[in-house]
Structure 1
């Protein structure tokens, strides 16, 4: 083997080492970028990708709820579970099992999904159906939603129609009673 062949072999070795170093650096950079991008993923975006899926939620003050995710918004989700529908305040969700491994970024959501918890409760109020409000401290109030404010709802409770105001921050979920 002549000196030229040895020189070309050395260049091939150096080029192979440089390629291996570049691939290792690129792999580390991709892993770093993936971790950095994943910090932008929200619970709501994971649940949005789980629409139509059976999940189990652990909700503050309630415990575990299992059902199918029907609709998701930034602050709440609608879940059907047997005979009941649940409007769940995402602020009260402690854990989720069975969610999709994917997420749907909020920029891809319909404008309707940007409606707040008050909008979901207004639909219950407009229907005139009785509902059961589960609070995050474990207490419950059953009655008919009357009016929905900016950060609270008004529930007419019992035979005497006593009015109870419930702050959204205290609400874990509203359960249909139909």
Structure 2
């Protein structure tokens, strides 16, 4: 081997070492970036990727609710259970099982998916169906939803009495049909 071949072999070896160091550094950087990017993933985006899947959501004051995930909004979801539907306020969710490993970022949501809990409650009120409101403290109220305000919902209970229920204490609304 002459001096030129030795020099080229030495330079090739240095280049391979540099490439290996670069790849190791890049793998570490990608892992760090992946962790920091995942920190932006929300529960709602994971639920959005799980539409039409069977899920179980554990709620404050209610316990586990299982069924097919039908709709997801920014602060609520609709679960179709055995012969009844559940509108669940996501702030009352303690744990979720059965969701997809993927997520759907908010920019990919349909305009309908951007409607909040108030829209879901107004839809229930429009149907006039009897419901059971479950509170985060375990209380329940049976009745028909009426008007929906900015931070409350009217519920017509026994004997035609109207009760205002603050939205922040609602864990779920269960249809009674």
TM-score range with shorter-chain normalisation?
A: over 0.9
Gaps (5+ residues) in structure 1?
A: none
**Where do 4+ consecutive residues of structure 1 move more than 6 Å?**
none
Using the alignment, how far apart are the partners of 1:166 and 1:99 within structure 2? 30
Using the alignment, how far apart are the partners of 1:161 and 1:24 within structure 2? 70
Taking structure 2 as the reference length, the TM-score comes to: 0.97
Shift of 1:47: 0.2
Using the alignment, how far apart are the partners of 1:28 and 1:151 within structure 2? 46
Query: How does 1:66-145 map onto structure 2 within 5 Å?
Result: 66-145=66-145
Using the alignment, how far apart are the partners of 1:111 and 1:121 within structure 2? 17
Using the alignment, how far apart are the partners of 2:98 and 2:112 within structure 1? 25
Query: How does 1:1-178 map onto structure 2 within 5 Å?
Result: 1-158=1-158, 160-178=159-177
- Which sits farther off after the overlay, 29-38 or 78-87? 29-38
How many pairs align? 177
1:50 alignment partner, SS class: coil
Provide Cα deviations, 1:21-48, integer angstroms capped at 9, x if missing partner: 1101111111111111111111001000
Gaps (5+ residues) in structure 2?
A: none
> For the aligned residues, what is the CA RMSD?
0.8
Taking structure 1 as the reference length, the TM-score comes to: 0.97
